A and B are shown apart, each in its own frame.
Chain A
């Protein structure tokens, strides 16, 4: 006899009358011999029938009879509404507002030039940062130590500016692209892992945004890993590899309401002990001045 746990997987299909012949045979046999499952299933069936049979919709003949009269004016309006002639609008604007045209044109020209210069001279490492999150950079170059009691985003790194123009230095820990990547990935995963389909409304998760953020992070991962060449950075590199796999899963979720996909992501996070590895990574960065010094040197 099949166990109760495996029979309960048939409940969904049984309620919808979608069991095939073989499944129905197994299902009926188990229910005949198991009072508990029989009771449970019959209660669910009763709920379904009760909701269906008790649902009454009062007739609304008055409304339905007059429906066309109510909507016809809107439909006629929709049909006859002319599209605006944008050429005429622009032409009139130009001829009536010469001075203003020149002022606005100048302003737009300056704006575009500024954007062009900014894009052309923008530093390489900032280009791939997701624009959905703020990057807060604390200018604490005069401080010589990291205060462990301060919250992580306020931590101050004591890397001194170097005279070598080619060496990349970070004024704060939060400047470190790898740390930012890990932090953002953690926030993204926590949102998904903490989602409980039995109690939470799936509409609360903006799946499209999660996928966009995942794609942005995946694009960054390759560049970040290239710069982690030292042996002491291998652990961080492995963590980024694991995160990449999970982020790929999220980015490839097929639809916005893919509960199975979310479960898959959760399993992946559990199996790879992602949060444990992230916590270890964070602890290593903030635990002792000696380790902080090593971290500075590694950068």
Chain B
């Protein structure tokens, strides 16, 4: 852990809000991305991100420096994301209409995508099926897959976050990839059929 970060953590543990603010600024992007990858929903990701930092502040005195501060935050993020699902009514994501409206709304708010109907449609299509594929995974499989492949953490770090053995983590990641393969096979068949039919 860098000395600057160590000092910030010590100050935050003594109740220094400005020090904690700097820690938030340094980590907010990564936490939001992880929250989004786990929840696959912008609003949920925002809620999780806020809750993570509030929880982190409340329990920062318990952080002993055994792991990186970001790893500790990741752990809180994973736990918060997993418990978030239980509070929300599970929307039937197989409802095509709901998915289409949700994605259109989300993408329309993103001004960084150049307005191009074909690109928009393609992007929506892929995103819809990635989310659908990820929904086939169990909570643990998704968590491990996301941490390993999106956040590119090594298994030691993931072990710290999840408290699972590295053998179990490897199995979970491999199972996730195999399940995704099955889910995406259906997607590629549908894509070919849509391409043919127009």
Interface residues of A (CB under 8 A from B): 11-13, 15-16, 43-44, 47-48, 50-52, 54-60, 63-64, 67-68, 70-72, 74-76, 78-79, 197-198, 201-203, 254-255, 257-260
Which of the candidate stretches B2-10, B65-73, B90-98, B176-184 sits at the interface with the other chain? B176-184
Determine the distance from Cα of A11 to Cα of B181 in the docked complex, in whole angstroms. 14
Decide yes or no whether B26 CB sits under 8 A from chain A.
no
Q: How many B residues have CB within 8 A of the partner chain?
A: 55
Which residue of chain A has the shortest Cβ distance to B20 in the bound complex? A75
Contacts of A74 in B (CB 8 A): 54
Complex contact A52–B175 (CB within 8 A): no
Q: If A79-B17, A258-B168 touch, does A63 touch B46 (CB 8 Å cutoff)?
A: yes
Determine the distance from Cα of A55 to Cα of B184 in the docked complex, in whole angstroms. 14
Q: List 22 A-B contacts (CB under 8 A).
A: A12-B174, A48-B149, A51-B130, A51-B145, A51-B149, A54-B126, A54-B127, A58-B42, A58-B106, A59-B110, A60-B32, A63-B46, A64-B28, A67-B24, A74-B54, A76-B17, A198-B175, A202-B140, A203-B138, A255-B164, A257-B168, A259-B171
Decide yes or no whether B25 CB sits under 8 A from chain A.
yes
Complex contact A63–B123 (CB within 8 A): no
Known contacts A67-B28, A67-B50; 12 additional CB pairs below 8 A are A12-B173, A16-B148, A50-B184, A51-B133, A51-B180, A67-B49, A72-B21, A75-B54, A78-B54, A79-B15, A255-B163, A255-B164
Interface residues of B (CB under 8 A from A): 15, 17, 20-21, 24-25, 28-29, 32-33, 36-37, 42, 45-46, 49-50, 53-54, 57-58, 106-107, 109-110, 112-113, 123, 126-127, 130, 133, 138-140, 145, 148-150, 155, 163-165, 167-168, 170-171, 173-175, 177-178, 180-181, 184
How near does chain B come to A123, taking the closest CB pair, in angstroms? 42
How near does chain B come to A254, taking the closest CB pair, in angstroms? 7
**Residue of A12, A48, A51, A79 most packed against chain B (CB within 10 A):** A51
Residue from A11, A58, A75, A255 in contact with B17 in the complex, judged by beta carbons closer than 8 Å = A75
Determine the distance from Cα of A13 to Cα of B169 in the docked complex, in whole angstroms. 12
The prevalent SS among residues of B at the interface is helix
How near does chain A come to B7, taking the closest CB pair, in angstroms? 19
Contacts of A201 in B (CB 8 A): 138-140
Determine the distance from Cα of A76 to Cα of B20 in the docked complex, in whole angstroms. 12
How near does chain B come to A180, taking the closest CB pair, in angstroms? 34
The prevalent SS among residues of A at the interface is helix
Determine the distance from Cα of A217 to Cα of B142 in the docked complex, in whole angstroms. 35
Contacts of A58 in B (CB 8 A): 42, 106-107, 109-110, 112-113
Residue from B17, B175, B181 in contact with A43 in the complex, judged by beta carbons closer than 8 Å = B181
How near does chain A come to B141, taking the closest CB pair, in angstroms? 9
Contacts of A259 in B (CB 8 A): 168, 171
Complex contact B170–A12 (CB within 8 A): yes
Contacts of B33 in A (CB 8 A): 57
Contacts of B171 in A (CB 8 A): 12, 259
Contacts of B150 in A (CB 8 A): 52, 55
Complex contact B178–A44 (CB within 8 A): yes
Contacts of A60 in B (CB 8 A): 32, 42, 45-46
How near does chain A come to B145, taking the closest CB pair, in angstroms? 8
Q: If A47-B184, A58-B107 touch, does A203 touch B140 (CB 8 Å cutoff)?
A: yes
Residue from A52, A71, A197 in contact with B54 in the complex, judged by beta carbons closer than 8 Å = A71
Which residue of chain B has the shortest Cβ distance to A203 in the bound complex? B139
Contacts of A68 in B (CB 8 A): 21, 24-25
Q: If A12-B171, A12-B174, A67-B49 touch, does A55 touch B32 (CB 8 Å cutoff)?
A: no
Contacts of B167 in A (CB 8 A): 260
How near does chain B come to A150, taking the closest CB pair, in angstroms? 41
Complex contact B174–A64 (CB within 8 A): no
Contacts of A78 in B (CB 8 A): 54, 57-58
Residue from B29, B37, B112 in contact with A64 in the complex, judged by beta carbons closer than 8 Å = B29
Determine the distance from Cα of A249 to Cα of B32 in the docked complex, in whole angstroms. 41
Contacts of A43 in B (CB 8 A): 181
Determine the distance from Cα of A259 to Cα of B149 in the docked complex, in whole angstroms. 22
